[in-house]
Amino acid sequence: MKALATLLLGVVSIGSVYGQTFQDLDFESATVSNLPLNQFGGANDASVTNAFPGWSAYIGTNQLTQVGHNVITLGAASVSLLGPQYAPPYTPLQGNYSATLQAGNVLSDAFLHPASIAQTGLIPDGTKFMRFQATFPFNTLEVAVGGLGAPFVALGGSSYVCDVSAFANQIQKIRFTMNTNIGNGLTFVDAIAPMPGLGAITSIAKEGNNI
């Protein structure tokens, strides 16, 4: 009887783990106070839980508990939620909110620190690609899945796609990192979506201008 109970508990535990779906992949689940047009927020105005439900945020290896809201720095490393409105050209890539990453310095530390967001969840069975929207200075954005770099290709506009087929039906961490900076560059990330097999990346590329 004890062995049966242990077995059933194991089945329930496995089911719970595999029910760990990704959250807030479009960053629209934020619960923050809206700021007036053209108004900056503070560098630590929002908790990570409220700004990026389901996500973790990092400067270098330091995990953050607070992030900015409508914050664009002059060289300091930053993770911030942008939206629902701000002065052009700094507007969300889609919907009301986008994630913004700025690699930069920390206080008096002159070294460059990467900025990143990460989340662990189940990559659905049958997933071949992960599509996302982003704008970033040349060669500053890094995407990782399961701790491994995931090369991505452009679809047109601000849309990109990377091959994640090796991780289908697995619990894995996805991570978006601005790993370096050029001048005072910004990286915007939005609309992340696992996609089923479409045969080849070129099949998706045909849709690029409609994404």
- Of all residues in the chain, what percent carry a pLDDT higher than 90? 59
Number of residues that make up the chain? 211
Predicted local distance difference test score (pLDDT) of residue 71? 86
Phi-psi region for residue 157, left (φ > 0), alpha (ψ -120 to 50) or beta? left
87 or 110: which leads in pLDDT: 110
Burial readout 178-205 (b: 16 or more C-beta within 10 A, e: otherwise): bbebeeebbbbbbbbebeeeeeeeeebb
Q: What is the mean predicted confidence (pLDDT) over 36-50?
A: 75
Strand segments (E) across the chain = 46-47, 56-59, 62-63, 66-69, 78-82, 98-102, 104-106, 109-113, 115-123, 127-135, 141-145, 148-149, 152-156, 159-163, 170-178, 187-196
- Residue 179 pLDDT more than 50? yes
Neighbours of 157 (CB within 10 A): 13
Read off the pLDDT of residues 71-94 as tens digits, 9 standing for 90 and up.
Answer: 888 888 999 999 887 766 788 999
- The structure's pTM equals 0.83
Predicted local distance difference test score (pLDDT) of residue 75? 85
Range among 61-75, 87-101, 115-129 with highest mean pLDDT value:
115-129
Q: How far apart are CA 77 and CA 58, in angstroms?
A: 10
Q: How far apart are CA 33 and CA 31, in angstroms?
A: 7
At 206, the pLDDT band (50, 70, 90 cuts) reads: very low
- Residue 48 pLDDT more than 80? yes
Per-position DSSP letters for 57-81, written without gaps between them: EEETTEEPSEEEES---SSB-EEEE
At 40, the pLDDT band (50, 70, 90 cuts) reads: low
Q: What is the mean predicted confidence (pLDDT) over 127-138?
A: 95
Predicted local distance difference test score (pLDDT) of residue 125? 94
**How far does CA 184 lie from the centroid of its chain?**
20
Lowest mean pLDDT among 20-29, 123-132, 174-183: 174-183
